Amino acid sequence: MSFNAVSSSATNTGCNLDSSKKAKKSQTIVSQEGFELLEDDDDDGGGEGEEEKEAKQTVKLHLKHRSKDGKSGGQESFMESTNRDLARIQTLYTRIIEKKNQNDISRLKKDKEGSKKLIKTAVAPASPESYGTGLSGQLMATLESGVSLGSGEYFMDVFIGTPPKHYSLILDTGSDLNWIQCVPCHDCFEQKGPYYDPKESSSFRNIGCQDPRCHLVSSPDPPQPCKAENQTCPYFYWYGDSSNTTGDFALETFTVNLTSPTGKSEFKKVENVMFGCGHWNRGLFHGASGLLGLGRGPLSFASQLQSLYGHSFSYCLVDRNSDTNVSSKLIFGEDKDLLNHPELNFTTLVGGKENPADTFYYVQIKSIMVGGELLNIPEATWNLTSDGVGGTIVDSGTTLSYFAEPAYQIMKGCIC
């Protein structure tokens, strides 16, 4: 498969991944500007120069891919993964169509301009102490190797509330809302550890119905989302195959474990992070405490940290069949060593620039080769149209790769 790829060493214009090398990990870098792939040996690449350390704030977190049954060799069945993927893809498609319809309507309503300005400025600020010392260094989440959480997803450990308590959240580049299961939990799935209790956190604050930020979420009762002026803002967010979360929209402090270049560990806070306190949660999230959205929309964790890291992040997901003691990584902010890596190739993200509320990350596929043979797939098959239809989405929540019917049939005929 090829993209409009550019090599950092200016010697390669493809995205070449040598499968013969052992212990390789595929590095994905996502920002508002581009999507990058990197081969990474077991070596972490050594230290960085002083100028690079000071040039850009960088936050690194560790992710763990946890098998469904907790066994070192266990994995979900092919049909189970496929059925879940199909449900998710149907959800993504529905969201795209709904977004297209919303865009058509918004062109007829000039008062939408105020909402767009709100979306652009709805960013969680860092705490005063974070501003004073800066957030340069590496941010690492706590991991539990080999622990079964009943899911085949990728998890990230996050500390929420005051005092901070640990929760494992599913990482998702295909959605925006950050949410966790909350007390009282009227209809919740099983998770490891207790539910989040807002009464035990001194930094928890509800967002009211009259707060402009309430318009950033969908309501479980669109005709009349708020029954009283002082009511807490309700939210509803759905993913597909009956997976959804409903609860109260709120603000909370997220605490991160910062590792400085000298190796010193410090805790830093990011205050007023918008998140969902879910009281009714159903679907494909078993084992997790909730979900951490990394999409392009204003509610995602990445978007709310853009004042600190410029909405630039990268992740390296270890293969599900690899050693369970090997962790994946998530880095917020630019990594100069990574950008200058000789085996790094990158391609520009496409689409979504006209609408700041677009969620998905798109890449432009140019061609596909099977057995060294270039397949005769019309280029228009891969194009993202001006009204938001088509294109290829990068989604961490989908296990397999899926293609439009014309491309699929050609590939199927070539392989079978």
Catalytic residues: 172, 395
CA distance 164 to 180: 14
Please say whether the beta carbons of 39 and 18 come within 8 A.
yes
265-282 vs 154-160, strand pairing mode: unpaired
| Six token digits for residue 15 | 């995205």
Q: Which two tokens stand for residue 402?
A: 């899926």
| DSSP 8-state symbol, 213 | G
The Cα–Cα gap between 293 and 178 comes to 5
Is the peptide bond preceding residue 184 cis, with omega within 30 degrees of 0? yes
Q: Return the half-sphere exposure (C-beta side, CA atoms, 13 A cut-off) of residue 202.
A: 2
Q: Is the peptide bond before 163 cis (omega within 30 degrees of 0)?
A: yes
3-state class (DSSP) for residue 97: helix
Q: Which amino acid would we find at residue 219?
A: S
